[in-house]
Amino acid sequence: MSGEISPTGKDSSLESSPELRASHTDRDRVVDVLRIAAGAGLLTADELDERLEAALSARTVSELTALTADLPAVSTSTGTAVAEVKDVLRIEGIHSGAVKRMGRWVVPRRLELSTTWCEVTLDFTQAVITQDTLRIDMNTAGKKLTLITKPGIVVDAGALSLVHSKIKIRQAPDHETPIALRVELVGTTTHSRVVVRPARRTFGQWLLRKPMSLPAGD
């Protein structure tokens, strides 16, 4: 899977179940982390071989976690360590200005939104993603929450309670892109709007867009 991953390749909810069975995808993610760590000089060739063998034969998530417990989170796109991942990021605001998370911000394992008449924007297009699930617990009232996505990021609002509120979800075209992050919205929002949309194309991207094919002539 492309993008950023955590050493365990699992979200915190799964890590809390140590005997959870590991899948082929789980093993592949850990193998990627081990190879990147070896390339960065964090593991010797012998250590890499030993851990790769253990990863490929691991039966549970806890066995995989042990193989990367002493390694930093890494990005498979850049092959470098990323900033420390927070278990919980809390955003609070009452009648305050707009709150924005944009650029290369590190997506936490869980996000708590507690806002009243405060507009919040979460832009995931360049965010550092270190796990495959993000739970956003919402206790919001007034204004708008905007989530800006990209291919590979999907948003599920099935557990979100709307009180005199509206939600509009427009997922980014997948283009057969594997899911890199699933965002789950839970909690309650009152007298507000939730907007999920893909990033808008820049003027240069618009100019380079693929032209529509013309019908064949007779």
Q: CA–CA separation, 183 vs 137, rounded Å?
A: 11
Residue 198: pLDDT above 90?
yes
17 within 8 A of 62, measured Cβ to Cβ: no
pLDDT class for 203, splitting at 50, 70, 90? low
CA distances from 4 to 36, 45, 99, 108, 130 (A): 12, 24, 24, 13, 5
Across 111-122, average pLDDT: 96
Residue with tokens 């995989």: 64
Going by pLDDT thresholds of 50, 70 and 90, the confidence category of residue 164 is very high
Q: Per-residue pLDDT tens for 6-15?
A: 554 544 444 4
Q: What is the pLDDT of residue 26?
A: 81
Q: Strands across the sheet with 110-116, in order?
A: 88-94, 110-116, 133-141, 181-190, 153-163
How would residue 68 be classed by pLDDT, with cut points 50, 70 and 90?
A: confident
State the pTM of this model. 0.61
Determine the pLDDT at residue 160. 97
Is residue 173 very low, low, confident or very high in pLDDT (cuts 50, 70, 90)? confident
Residue with structure tokens 């200005």? 97
Answer whether residue 171 shows pLDDT above 80.
Answer: yes
Where is average pLDDT lowest: 23-27, 58-62, 71-75, 131-135? 71-75
User: How far apart are the C-alpha atoms of 170 and 111, rounded to whole Å?
Assistant: 21
Burial 65-92 (b: 16+ CB within 10 A, else e): bebbeebbbbbeeeeeebeebeeebebe
- Of 28-37, 38-47, 131-140, the range with the highest mean pLDDT is 131-140
Q: What percent of the chain has pLDDT over 70?
A: 76
Give me the mean pLDDT over the 153-172 stretch: 94
Residue with the two structure tokens 């799964």: 14
Q: Round the CA-based radius of gyration of the chain to a whole number and report it.
A: 20
Question: Could you tell me how far CA 199 lies from the centroid of its own chain?
Answer: 15
CA nearest neighbour of 52 among 27, 17, 80, 72: 27
Mean pLDDT value of segment 175-181: 81
Q: What is the mean pLDDT of residues 83-92?
A: 78
The pLDDT confidence band at residue 202, using thresholds 50, 70 and 90, is low
8 Å CB contact between 68 and 34: yes
Q: Give the C-alpha separation, 97 to 35, whole Å.
A: 44
Task: Kindly state the average pLDDT of the residues 122-132.
Answer: 86
Element (H, E) at 144: strand 144-149
- Rounded to 5 degrees, φ, ψ at 141 are -145, 130
118: β partners:
none
Q: Cα separation of 65 and 149, whole Å? A: 29
The pair of structure tokens assigned to 130 is 């270190």
Write down the pLDDT at residue 208. Answer: 55
For 36-51, what is each residue's pLDDT tens digit? 777 777 888 889 899 9
Instruction: Give the whole-angstrom CA distance, residue 98 versus residue 108.
Output: 20
